[in-house]
Every structure is written in C-alpha cells, then in structure tokens.
Amino acid sequence: MSDAPQDQLDQLVTTAKERLDAHTYETVQWHFHESTGCPFWLEKKTELNFDPLSEIKNYEDLRKFPLFEDDWLRGGPVRRWVPKALEDKPTYVFETGGTTGIPKSRVVMDDFRIDYEMFSETLPDEYFPRGGNWMMLGPSGPRRLRLAVEHLCQHRGGICFCIDLDPRWVVKLIKKGWMEHLEEYKKHCIDQAITILTAGHEIKCLFATPKLLDQLALALEDRGTSLKEIGVTGIFSGGTEFTPQWTRYCVEELFGGPPEKSGIYMTPTYGNTLMGLACSKPVTAADNYKISYHAPQPRAVTEVVEFEDPNTPVAYGDTGRVKLTTLTKELFIPGFLERDEGEREKPFETFPWDGVSGVRPYHVFATSTTVGVY
Amino acid sequence: MLNIPVIRWGEEYDSLDKQEVLHFATGEAIANVSQANGGIIQRDLRKAGKAREILKQFSIEQLIEMVGKAGEFFVDATLPLGDGEQSPQDFIHQQSASTGLPEHMVELGMSKNSFVLNNMDRILDALTRGLPLDILSNGWGKEDRGIPISYQAQTPVLGAVLPSNSPGVHTLWLPVVPLQMGLVLKPGPQEPWTPYRMFAAYEAAGIPREIWCLYPGGIEAGAAVLGACDRAMIFGGTATVNNYKGNPKVQAHGPGFSKILIGDDCVDNWEEYIDLIVESIYVNSGRGCINCSGVWASRHTEEIAAAIAERLGPIEALPPQDPEAGLAAFTIPGMANSIWEMIEADFAEDGVTHCTEPSGARLVEKELCGYLRPIIVHCESPENEIAKKEYMFPFSTVVKCEQDKMLSSIGETLVGTVITNDESLIQQAMNAIHIDRLNIGPIATTKLNWLQPHEGNIIDFLFRNRAFQVPEELLG
C-alpha cells in the first residue's frame, strides 16, 4: 500500500473522478425517470427549479440540489422511497435513531449486501480467514448492521453468531443517569458474547463497537484469558469515537502489539444506514495511529465542507463538516450533512479520492449529543 | 508550553489525546495535558493492591513525617512538572490563570494544603478519636479496656474525580497516603496543578511515585475511576450527588447550601452578626460549598439584607494579580451570563427583592470570561424559588421565615450556623439530620476546624470497624 508516484496517482484520481461523474449521471437518470424513480424524488422534482434529467451531468452538478433533510426519512409511507424499477423486489426497512420520536427509515433491497461485499475485498485473508466464523457484537433489532455483518460473514464462507443489544435502551439509561443499570446492561451484552466465544464455535472474526470491544477484552482478561487466546484474529470495528489514542491503546495494551506480533488485526470503519462503509487507510504506530476514512466511491461520497458553506470543500488538512452523498439504484441522497466533523484528507493509491480523518461529533452538537450508544 | 503526561502508577504516559489548559483572560495555552481513556484506567486499577503493599513498607508515623516534608516542598520548592518544572510562583500564576481565582486566594489555598500536611498527626488523631494508628495498619489491635478491635481497609486506593473550580477540596484526599492507601486522581480540566504538584512534592519527600495514578480526561475517565476504585470521591452538582446517593463506594460532594439561621432570641441584635455573615458569603469568592447562600430569620430580614448588600454590593471585579481582588472569574465562555439570566428570571417572582441593584450592574463581561459581582436577595417567604438556589460566587438570599418553620424549610445544609441561646431551637438543630456541620453560636460557615470530619469522616469511608476475635494468648 505504498504511495504511488504523483503522476500515476493523478491519473488514478482523474479516472476515479470520471467514473464518479458517469455514475452520478446514471443514478440521477434512474431516480428521476418516471419509469424507474421512487415517488419521493418524482414528487420532489416538481419543486425543483431545474430539471435533474437534463441538468445533472456530473458530480459537481449535484450542488444544484438543496441539502438533504434527514426529517424526510421519518415516518411513512416508507414505500415512497422504493424505486419503481425495484418495487417487486423483497424489501427491508432499516432504522436509525428512534430513542424518542419517530426513527429515520431507509428501504433496502440489496445495497447492504453489495456494500459489505465490497468491504470484504479490503479485508486481509490472513486475519479474516475465509470460512472463519464471526461474532456480531453490536446493535440488533431494526438495524442494518446486524444483517450486514452476518452477510459479510456468510459471503466469506462463515457462520455469524449474534447477541441481543437494544441501543435505544442504552441511550435512555444514559439520559436518565441510571449508570448502574447501564453497567449491568453492558455486562449482560458482554456475558452473551463471552458465552458464545468460549463455547467451542471456532470464532475467528469479530464485529464490535469500540466501547464493547474494550469491555469484551477487559472481561476476557478478568477471566484469565484474552482475545488472542480465544482465537480472534480479525476485528472490524466502527463508531465515531474511534480515536487514534483508543486505537493505540487497543493495539499496544489489549492486543499485545501490531498484527505481525499479536496476530490480531483491527480495521476501523465509518458508516451508517445511509451509506456503505468507509474504509480506513491502514493505521500504524509510525503514523501516530491516524485514522483516515475513504467512502466507497462511486456508490457513496464523503466531502469535508466549510461549516458555514456546505457547498465549499475545505482545503486539505483543514477542518469542516462531513457531507455525505449516496448514489445507488436503491437510494439517492444528494448532500446530507452528517453530525460529524473532521479534517479533509488527500487521495492515495488504494482510494484515489478524498477522505476524512479525525472524525468526531460536530462541535456544535457535541455538547447535546449522547455519544457512545453501544 | 508545558506538556503534562498521564501518570500510571508513577510512570509517565504521553497520550495521543491532549487538551490544552488555557489562560482565562488571554486565551493563551499554558499547558498541554495528556488525556487518559477509560480502558487504560480500568486495566491499571487491576494493580491497585500494589499501592497499599508499597505504602505498608512504611509505618503510618513515617508517612506522617514524610507528608509533613511534602507540605514544605509543596509551598517552597521548585518541583518537576511534566517536561518542565514549576516554582511556587509559577504554581500561583498557573492556577489563577486557569481557574480564574485571584492569586492571593491561590496562595491561601496553598497554605491550607500545607497546614493539613504539616498537622497530619493531629488530624488523624482527631479523625480516629485517638485510635492507635497501628490498628489501621495491622487491621486489628486491642483497646485500652482489653477488648480486640478491628479496622479493616476497604480499598487499597482512594479514587477522586476532582473539580476545576474549587482548589480547596484537595485537603480532603491528603490524609489518604499516611493511611497507607494509594491515590487515583482525575484532575479537573482547568486544575491539574494541585494534584501534579502534590505528586512531585510527595516524591521529593521520599514517598514512592508508584502509589500514584493521575488520569486527566473526559467523562469516560471519571466514570472509569469511580467504577474501578472500591472507594472514590466525586465533586459535582446536585444531579451528580443524587446519582451516587446510597452507593457505599462513592462519596459525592455537591453544592453545600450552607446557611445561617438567626433565632428569635438573637435577631434583634442582628447588626452584631453582619461581619460573620459577610465573611461566610464572600470568603474565597463564594465558591466553596461552605460559603453561606442563605440567611434565615423571622424579622429584620429587610434590614439584614440591606446591610449585607451595602457591604458586598460595591465590590468590583479586579485583575487576579490585585491583592484586593475578591471575585473569581467564570472561565467558561457564556457561563456568567447564563447564571445572571437564571437569577434575573427569579427576580420577577412576588416577594423577591434584589438588594444589590443600587450598587450597579452585576454582570461584568470580558472578552474571554465573565464575572458576577455579589448578589444579595431578600425573600418574603421560603417558598420563593430563589431561596433554594446556590451559585459559585458571593450570592445569598435573606429569607423571612418563622422560627418554628425554619428547620423544616431549609432543606439540605452542609454547614448550618444557628445563632441562638434558645435550648429548644438548639435541640431541634441537633436533631436535624439534613444539617451536616453544625455551628451553634456566631461562627462563620467558612470557619473550618481541621480536626473535625468534613462531609463524612474519611476514616469511616476507607475502613470498616468490624467485630473481630482472637484467642486470649494472641491478644497479649
């Protein structure tokens, strides 16, 4: 994964940009054509002061759309989001939020499978062995993640074990200040995981949120064992609280060193129900455990934009709000401002498009947001 | 700029997460402080037992002598701090610059800490009611009357989640090391200075650094300290105190709601008490839990309020270096303004009079900080909302209330000064379980006797006095 010479990298960037522009054009044609589009966008088209079919020719043109409002995803009928061309396909609905009030819903047919199959290609077989069984230590219920991780595991030939975890209850416990209950619920989740992990199921790979991974490793140590001893070699983890310091702590103290020494490889990811998974550039001690995410272009794009002007990207290295665009046949989201901020990162050989590092809650929301749901 | 590491059982740890400590008036960064994540704390605390083992290599008497020396180093020596060093003068500037306290108050706080360290033998003698100290060390011994007695340590370390705004609280954890227990501290974000300087002073006095953990960090670090220590203190607001109510592992220190009650037999002589009332409200910029936030009497309350307002109202916000400065700054942007808006909203209620209004505007906003000048409010009734409030600056209500309703109306009270010679009122005050420290007579709420327990006796918190029996021959 060494850096390519500049001219070679420039070529890769240009090719990726051309691919994104073509993909954008196709996606907009699909979502705004009467024969294929979904009721929501076909209706929205009548409110726009431009014709997406004739005026959106490349990615830059998407700036003509107003910012996507997440409230549009709340409430029904959810079928208004199903593209006409896909209306006969079996459809899932996944939810995000919803501790109080109406959650945001997203319909999905195959996107989660496609996204996670693409992500699978980035996982090193040495640590995520084909045929290895997985444990999903994350939220259950109406969440995309639970099915997506299970599909990832099955796609790689394994069988996935899961636990029950209700993140909405966790948020309520935090808001009520019921810290004893929170601790007990955390223990309940970890106990479920350890029971399975130590029951001879030959689990090699793990999805875990950072907080649960931390607690799992500590609970295993309390029982006189470790992630390494129970045979875990690959960990896929996600969450905005994924900091360089926490990663360093995991590698140095929980795992016992970098992959070549400890035999455990962890890959940080950034994603949500609305996009696929943004992968991280390999995280190393030499780079101070810096974590840079790159979206799965062209299906999703992340930009880092000015706080006051979401149509203007910040300079490389500068801080801004994370803006997401989703461009799949199942979902079109032009310009959605995430609840996160970070620094704009340059393209590199593996992902020749912009990335974002230092992802953390948007400072304006940070004081009022309950972070660390699970 | 100073870089201050996390301390993990005496070892320095340079975290990738850092937080700058800023000068409240200039915004200039004074130090860059490494932040600990929760997992580190939980893992480290598995080795807590070692701290007590190390300290038990010394007798309690030896440790008392060592902390006495540490007290001298704390006040007089230039000591290492992170990648630099710190003179006593540096300490005064730094603590004032980050907490907003005037420098002379920082100096006073230093001397209080030093006093406690230098009088540790008397303090422990008082807190244990004269118990031979080797009983705490050995776990058991014999009383003078020949009966076996046991004090069992409940923890090898004391954890503490410390505040940023009131350096006075550090005296509460100072007796812990002589009791042969280690310290696991999460310093307040703006006040790393005292814990780190104490760490250096203790080491200079010969106490092994391996008994210390210093974990600057966020909420997660605080939760980890409280969760991983068998005994811990936390300082916070009412919500924090309520969260930990009934938890035997956590001693929660919150707002004091300290008060002065004047009995009907004394209230006609109210002018005699104005000095001690003013002192109780104003000392240490009104920041402490022992500062008075309510004066209660059945009559003359308007005159009492006017007299206090006349004394405190004209006090101005002065620069921290000014030896006359009596007010600390609110260093969090917007905080002074928010508090002022809350108080102003309460002025609208019937029966509430703002008595310091004639002395000019109370809110003083600077570019990066704010001040609130003293506020005295008269309340016609205990039912007035503002009568239940406490703020971290010289603020007090003067509440009109019949004597027979006073004790049932005052609510939780950390320090209650009851000025009376009425035996019946004294007895009722003695029985009032919602008053913690009780002063009978004209004693300022801020006047502490260091030989008395404060908000729970630390010996009772750290040790359990339990039944214990051994054969006669072993008892000796």
Residue A291 has pLDDT above 70, yes or no: yes
Residue in chain A lying closest to B227 (CA): A183
Exposed / middle / buried, residue B430 (Cβ in 10 Å: 0-12, 13-18, 19+):
exposed
- A43-70 pLDDT, tens digit per residue, is 999 999 999 999 999 999 999 999 999 8
Between strands B140-142 and B148-153, the pairing is antiparallel
pLDDT of residue A366: 57
Nearest to residue A355, comparing CAs of A319, A310, A283, A303?
Answer: A303
Neighbours of A142 (CB within 10 A): 16
Spatial contact of A82 and A40, defined as CB atoms under 8 Å apart: no
Q: Do A249 and B223 touch (CB under 8 A)?
A: no
Would you kindly state where each structural domain of chain B is located, as residue ranges? 2-254+455-470, 258-440
Give the single-character DSSP code of B442. S
CA neighbours closer than 13 Å in the CB half-sphere of residue B129: 5
Query: Which of B15, B16, B243 faces A179 most closely, judged by CB atoms?
Result: B243
Matching residue, tokens 């109510």: B245
Q: What is the mean pLDDT of chain A?
A: 92
CB contact under 8 A, A179 and B43: no
Q: ipTM value of the model?
A: 0.84
Task: List the strands of the sheet with B292-297, edge to edge.
Answer: B352-354, B375-379, B395-400, B292-297, B258-262, B413-419, B435-440
Q: What pLDDT is stored for residue A271 in this prediction?
A: 82
Cβ-based contacts under 8 A for chains A and B: 38
pLDDT in tens, B30-41: 999 999 999 999
Q: How far apart are CA B431 and CA B427, in angstroms?
A: 6
Give me the pLDDT at residue A70, please.
Answer: 87
Q: Which 8-state DSSP code applies to residue A82?
A: S
Q: Is A205 exposed, middle or buried (0-12, 13-18, 19+ CB in 10 A)?
A: buried
Is pLDDT of B315 > 90?
Answer: yes
pLDDT of residue B167: 67
pLDDT surpassing 80 at residue A239: no
The string of pLDDT tens digits covering residues B435-458 is 999 999 999 999 988 888 887 889
How far apart are alpha carbons B472 and B144 in whole angstroms? 15
Q: Which residues of B touch A221 (CB under 8 A)?
A: 43, 46
Do A177 and B15 lie within an 8 Å CB cutoff?
Answer: no
- Percentages of chain B per state (helix, strand, coil), in multiples of 5: 40, 20, 35
Q: Report the residue of B37, B42, B241 to disrupt the A interface, i.e. the one with the largest count of A CBs within 10 Å.
A: B37
β-pair type (B395-400, B250-253): unpaired
Interface test with B, best of A213, A245, A368 (most B CBs within 10 A): A245
Looking at residue A276, its pLDDT comes to 80
Mean pLDDT of A163-179: 89
Question: Pairing state of beta strands B258-262 and B29-34?
Answer: unpaired
On the question of pLDDT at A374 being above 90, the answer is no
Question: Residues of chain B whose C-beta is under 8 A from some C-beta in A?
Answer: 15-17, 35, 37-40, 42-43, 46, 220, 223, 227, 239, 242-243, 247
* The pLDDT of residue A371 is above 70: no
b/e map B218-237, b = 16+ CB within 10 Å: eebbbbbbbbbbbbbbbbbe
Give percent of chain A above pLDDT 70.
Answer: 95
Contact assignment for A221 to B35 by CB distance below 8 Å: no
Q: Taking every pair of C-alpha atoms in chain A, what is the biggest distance, in angstroms?
A: 65
Cβ–Cβ gap A246/B43 under 8 Å: no
Q: Which of B212, B152, B149 is nearest to B183 (CA)?
A: B212
Identify the pLDDT of residue B143.
84
Full DSSP string of B306-372? HHHHHHHTTPPP--TT-TT-----B-STTHHHHHHHHHHHHHTSTTEEETTGGG--SEEE-SS-EEE
* Separation between Cα atoms, residue A97 and residue A273, nearest integer Å: 10
The fold of B258-440 is Aldehyde Dehydrogenase; Chain A, domain 2 (3.40.309)
Q: What is the DSSP letter of B188?
A: B
What mean pLDDT do residues A273-295 have? 88
Q: Among A127, A130, A138, A128, which Cα is nearest to A155's?
A: A130
Residue of B nearest to A244 (CA): B16
pLDDT at A77: 95
Under an 8 A CB cutoff, do A245 and B43 touch?
A: no
CA distance B79 to B88: 8
SS3 A319: strand
Q: What is the pTM of this model?
A: 0.89
Quick count: other Cβ atoms within 10 Å of Cβ B327? 25
- Of A69-83, A121-135, B239-253, B418-432, which gets the smallest average pLDDT? B239-253
Distance, C-alpha A77 to centroid of its chain: 26
Q: Least CA distance to B37: which residue of chain A? A: A246
The dihedrals phi and psi of A83, each to the nearest 5 degrees, come to -60, 140
User: A166-179 burial string, b = 16+ CB within 10 Å, else e?
Assistant: ebbebbbbbeeeeb
User: What's the CA angle centered on B210, arms B207 and B216, to 5 degrees?
Assistant: 110
Give the N- to C-terminal CA distance of chain B in Å, as an integer. Answer: 60
Q: Does the beta-carbon distance from A253 to B39 stay under 8 Å?
A: yes
pLDDT digits (tens, 9 = 90+) for B331-367: 988 999 999 999 999 999 999 999 999 999 999 999 8
CATH of domain B2-254+455-470: 3.40.605.10
Residues in chain A within 8 Å Cβ distance of B46: 221
B17, B35, B44, B240: best to mutate for the A interface, most A CBs within 10 A? B17
pLDDT number for residue A370: 42
Q: Residue A240 — very low, low, confident or very high, per pLDDT cuts 50/70/90?
A: low
What is the Cβ-side half-sphere exposure of residue B9, based on CA atoms within 13 angstroms? 18
Q: Is B258-440 in the same CATH topology as B2-254+455-470?
A: no
d(CA B370, CA B330) in angstroms, rounded, equals 5
pLDDT at A372: 36
Q: Which domains does chain A have, with CATH numbers?
A: 6-366 (3.40.50.12780)
Mean pLDDT, chain B, whole residue set: 95
Residue given tokens 């009650």 in the structure block: B261
- Specify the pLDDT at position A117: 95
pLDDT tens for B97-154 read 999 999 999 999 999 999 999 999 999 999 998 999 999 999 999 888 888 999 999 9
**Average pLDDT over every residue of A357-361:** 90
